[in-house]
Structures are given as structure tokens and as C-alpha cells.
Chains A and B, each alone.
Chain A
Amino acid sequence: MNDFTYVRASDVEAAVSLLAEQRAAARFLAGGTNLVDLMREGVERPEVLVDITRAPLAEVQELPDGGLRIGAMVRNSHLAGHPLVRQRYPLLSQAILHGASAQLRNMATTGGNIMQRTRCCYFYDISSQCNKRTHGSGCDAMNGYNRMHAVLGTSAHCIAAHPSDMCVAMAALDAKVNVRGRAGERTIAFGEFHLLPGDTPQVETSLAAGELITSIDLPAPTAGLRSIYRKVRDRASYAFALVAVAAAIRMENGVMSEVRLALGGLATKPWRATIAEQLLRGAAPSPGLFAKAAEAELAPAVVRSGNAFKPELTKRTIEAVLAEITGTEGDLQ
């Protein structure tokens, strides 16, 4: 690992100005579970780390509108176990608990989880070509080991999957990301926070240089919303998703009056399944409709040799989750 200067920020203002004062490449350091690993591999080589874990951002607060504000330094385990999260946003609690291990969840923070990088093995291996690491160098994943890679939101330059479980639930729940930079504070809708790779896979978020995530807002929960987070992976626990489905549905007079559906493990960013949602919203649940909605969402999928199984696996998982939430009987494929 390269040497670097370590500085501690006591609050948000100090963190933002400390980072801005650095002429060298500087990074905010939170739980370290991803950044320290990337530094050890030589993928990240910051010259300065600004430790923000002592900034007072570890609170979960109720908002006047019935929503919740989650401080960026709230650790994943604390967020998943928080009584208000378990009671009002069980989808978020479940998603977090399906990610990583207990040890990592005790270290990792909310803001850090949102900022984590892909686990694409070519991104991690500095002897490989990677457009995310070195823009314009090429992508070894295209014709390499791409079983874990994305089929939605890809480009000719990058097929790296976004690894987070927590973010999939946040996408489904319409979270908002509050950030602070030298120019002041602003709020970014969760769906606009992570960017598709397009021609610039090295640009992963809409954060401006030097901006810090300070908190996440969740809107007030809808009464009667039933949710499921289902993760399909190579082992029963502690593995990244092949496919993850986050779904929350409210039934009213026999129809699905509210539908929230997001996917993980198969897209280049936390994937809100808006095409499927549109077909499901306001309709009566049926196996045929679930299949049609899943099919439509996966229609734009672009597969490679190793991940061609993902669209079918995703469709089946979506259908099973929707049937379970709505209590729909009948033949599922």
C-alpha cells in the first residue's frame, strides 16, 4: 500500500475544508472495508485520507414528515437493527442484512456503502485492462470471466455490476442523498446518484469533487406496504448477489395500488425496475402479469458468455417474489 497522510475531521465543515485544502489526491475515509482493500491492491492510491468517522453523523432521526434521516456514519449493522428501520422500512433492514458479514456490517457505514466500488475482478487486478480504472484502456471483462457481471445498464466500455444490497432497497424506497461541499448543501435523488457507465465508466456518481455525503433521507412509509428482499447467490450467506430483488407492494381493492421494484447484482447501478412497475401498478396480480412485467424489464438485457443465465434467473426470481408478496397462487414458470 502506498504511504499517505492521515488527518481526522471533527465535523462536516472540517472534513469538507480539509479535503478541499489538499493539493494531492485525497479521499474521505469511513469504515474502510472497501477503500483499504482497494488501496492494498493498488487500485486506489490516495495521498491523503480524511477520516470522517469522528464527525457527528451517526444518528438516525425522525423527520417531521414521518420520514427518517440516516446519518452517513451510521454503521450498517446499527441501521439494519434500528427499531424504526425494522418497523417502518423492513425492506432496508433485510437488504443490509443480506450483504457482507456481521464483522463487515459492524465497520461499514451508510455513506461508505453507497460509495463502494464494483467487485469486477478486472477492476481489482491492476495488471488487467479496465476502463473504469484507466479510461480508454479497454475492458478485459467483456470476453473474460464475466459470470458476476451486469446485463442491464451496460455499455461497450463497461459491464461491471454494482455490488450493494443496501442501495437496492434505497432505490426502491426513493431515498434522497444529502451532500455537502464547499459550495454548500444539496440533495440528490437516489436514482440520479449512481451513473450508468456509458462512455465514461470512471465517473460513477453525480457527486462533485470534494462533496461529502452527510445523510440519507427516506420518505414517510406507506401503510400496508408488504415487502421482500430476495438475494440469489452461490452460497447461502456472505456472497455477492447473482441477482437480488427488492419488492414492496400495497394491495387495495384487489389491485396493486403501489408497486416498488428494484434489482441488484445484474446492473451497473442499483436498478429501479420502472418498466415492470408501470405494468404492475393498478393491475390485479396474476402469474401471467408477473411474467409479462419481468420479461419487459429484462428485454433490454445484453448478456456475455458467462452471465447469459441472469435474465432468466432474474425473471423467475421477480415472479416468485411478486407471487409471495401478493399471495398469488397459480403456475409459476
Chain B
Amino acid sequence: MVFELHPVSLRVNGVEKTLDIEARVSLLDVLRDHLHLTGTKKGCNQGACGACTVLVDGERINSCLALAMQYEGREIRTIEGLANGELHPLQQAFIEHDGFQCGYCTPGQICSAVGMLFEFGAGAPSAVTKEGGKLELTDAELRERMSGNLCRCGAYVGIREAILQAQEVMAR
């Protein structure tokens, strides 16, 4: 069986790439297999683990459930596009606080945390946010907002500390 190829133009980490892909290809597979950006990881491939988290127009999504065709014209950012001469504050903080053991979930954790801090900064509520109160990144808020990223090594303590440090650094 021959699958039809479609031309698609994707903007990844600030660079425009034109590719011919099958309509059924996920954004995750395009990133890894076509653009060789293997930082983004395939964990469950069904939206349950968060290892494939990337940013689209600044918002975090699961790239495994995203058909690449749908993301034409959007600004896609992966773990490879976060550092700007020096490491992103979240990357630096994950190193300093041992926010990982095996490291497989780390690119997803970091991209997710970038998106989370963006949402938090914009005042987006979570399931544990009390209406009318001042929005603070308490432990309960942080856990709830990062619940879409699993870490089978259980490095959550380090991940939490890394995110709190990065939040402070980024606020300076």
C-alpha cells in the first residue's frame, strides 16, 4: 500500500521546515524521525505520560496526540530550542537540583514547566485554585499543574525544587 504524501511547512525552534509527510504522522514522529530532534521523547504514545510535551505558540501540548498536519503555521518549540546561548533557567535548575534520574521524562518535564509558568503568570486557574484568593505557586498548585508529566524514577522532589528555583530566577 502506498500512502499519499502531503507537503507541510512547520516552524520549529524558529526555523521553517518544509516536508512531505503522510497525514497520519504525529507531530512527535515528525520531530524525532523527520527533523531528527530526538530530545522530545516517546513514552506511552497515548497522552498519559507527558514525555512528548512540546510548546505550541507558548502553550504546552502532547505531541504524540497531535497530527503534524494540524500544526502548520504554528510556532513549535522543543527542548532543543529552549537554550539561548546559555541554558534556560529551568534546564539549569533541573541540573542543580537533580530533577531526574534516568532523564527520559526530563525534556517533557522541562517543556511542561515552561508552559506551566507561562500559564501561572497569566493567572490561569487550576483545579486547586481558590477563587478570589491570591495566586501562589504552593506545593498543591505545583503538583496539580505538573500532574500531566510522570517520572517513573520518582524524581519529583528534585523536579519541584528545580521549578521553584527557576520561577524565582525568571522573575528577576
| Chain A positions near chain B (C-beta within 8 angstroms) | 1-6, 29, 32-33, 36-37, 39-40, 49, 51, 53, 77, 80-81, 86, 90, 93-94, 97-98, 100-104, 106-107, 236-238
Is the beta-carbon distance between B143 and A236 smaller than 8 angstroms? yes
Q: Give, as a whole number of angstroms, the nearest-CB distance from B47 to chain A.
A: 6
Residues of B within 8 A of A1 (CB): 24
Once the chains are docked, how many angstroms separate the CA of A101 from the CA of B66?
Answer: 15
Of residues 20 to 36 in B, which have CB atoms within 8 Å of A's CB atoms? 22-24, 26
Is the beta-carbon distance between A104 and B69 smaller than 8 angstroms? no
Of all chain A residues, which has the CB nearest B144?
A237
Is the beta-carbon distance between A6 and B6 smaller than 8 angstroms? yes
Residue among A4, A36, A90, A103 making CB contact with B26, cutoff 8 Å: A36
Residue among B62, B126, B143, B145 making CB contact with A107, cutoff 8 Å: B62
Is the beta-carbon distance between A103 and B148 smaller than 8 angstroms? yes
Once the chains are docked, how many angstroms separate the CA of A1 from the CA of B65?
Answer: 12
Residue among B4, B60, B116, B119 making CB contact with A5, cutoff 8 Å: B4
Once the chains are docked, how many angstroms separate the CA of A93 from the CA of B127?
Answer: 9
- CB-CB under 8 A for A3 and B3, given A32-B66, A32-B67, A101-B147: yes
B124 interface hit (Cβ, 8 Å): yes
Is the beta-carbon distance between A106 and B61 smaller than 8 angstroms? yes
Contact with A along B150-166 (1 / 0, CB 8 A): 00000000000000000
Q: Give, as a whole number of angstroms, the nearest-CB distance from B11 to chain A.
A: 16
Once the chains are docked, how many angstroms separate the CA of A106 from the CA of B58?
Answer: 11
Residues of B within 8 A of A97 (CB): 125-127, 129
Residues of A within 8 A of B89 (CB): none
B112 interface hit (Cβ, 8 Å): yes
Is the beta-carbon distance between A32 and B124 smaller than 8 angstroms? no
B50 interface hit (Cβ, 8 Å): yes
Residue among A102, A103, A237 making CB contact with B143, cutoff 8 Å: A237
Is the beta-carbon distance between B23 and A104 smaller than 8 angstroms? no
B115 interface hit (Cβ, 8 Å): yes
| Chain B positions near chain A (C-beta within 8 angstroms) | 1, 3-4, 6, 22-24, 26, 45-47, 50, 53, 59-62, 65-67, 69-70, 112, 115-116, 119, 123-127, 129, 131, 143-145, 147-149
Residues of B within 8 A of A98 (CB): 127
How many pairs, one residue from A and one from B, have CB atoms within 8 Å of each other in the complex? Answer: 104
Is the beta-carbon distance between A103 and B60 smaller than 8 angstroms? yes
Once the chains are docked, how many angstroms separate the CA of A104 from the CA of B148?
Answer: 8
- A and B contact pairs by CB, cutoff 8 A, 11 listed: A3-B1, A3-B22, A3-B24, A4-B24, A6-B23, A36-B26, A86-B131, A94-B127, A107-B66, A237-B147, A238-B147
Q: Give, as a whole number of angstroms, the nearest-CB distance from B20 to chain A.
A: 13
Q: Which of A5, A40, A49, A103 gathers most chain B CB within 10 Å?
A: A103
Residues of B within 8 A of A106 (CB): 59-61, 115
Is the beta-carbon distance between A90 and B148 smaller than 8 angstroms? no
Q: Give, as a whole number of angstroms, the nearest-CB distance from A129 to chain B.
A: 22
Is the beta-carbon distance between B67 and A6 smaller than 8 angstroms? yes
Q: Give, as a whole number of angstroms, the nearest-CB distance from B27 to chain A.
A: 10
Q: Which of B26, B124, B149 gathers most chain A CB within 10 Å?
A: B124
Of all chain A residues, which has the CB nearest B129?
A97
Is the beta-carbon distance between B66 and A40 smaller than 8 angstroms? no
Q: Give, as a whole number of angstroms, the nearest-CB distance from A62 to chain B.
A: 20
Once the chains are docked, how many angstroms separate the CA of A300 from the CA of B147?
Answer: 35
Is the beta-carbon distance between A3 and B4 smaller than 8 angstroms? yes
Once the chains are docked, how many angstroms separate the CA of A39 from the CA of B24?
Answer: 9
Q: Give, as a whole number of angstroms, the nearest-CB distance from B105 to chain A.
A: 13
Residues of B within 8 A of A238 (CB): 147-148
Is the beta-carbon distance between A29 and B112 smaller than 8 angstroms? no
Given contacts A93-B125, A103-B50, A104-B148, 5 further A-B contacts (CB under 8 A): A3-B22, A33-B65, A40-B46, A86-B131, A238-B147
Is the beta-carbon distance between A104 and B125 smaller than 8 angstroms? no
Q: Which of B4, B60, B131 gathers most chain A CB within 10 Å?
A: B60
Q: Give, as a whole number of angstroms, the nearest-CB distance from A228 to chain B.
A: 12
Of all chain B residues, which has the CB nearest A80?
B125
Interface pairs A-B: 7 shortest CB-CB: A101-B148, A237-B147, A6-B23, A97-B127, A238-B147, A81-B124, A1-B24
Residue among B45, B62, B127, B144 making CB contact with A40, cutoff 8 Å: B45
Q: Give, as a whole number of angstroms, the nearest-CB distance from A106 to chain B.
A: 5
Q: Which of A3, A93, A101, A237 gathers most chain B CB within 10 Å?
A: A101
Q: Give, as a whole number of angstroms, the nearest-CB distance from B168 to chain A.
A: 21
Residue among A3, A51, A81, A104 making CB contact with B47, cutoff 8 Å: A104
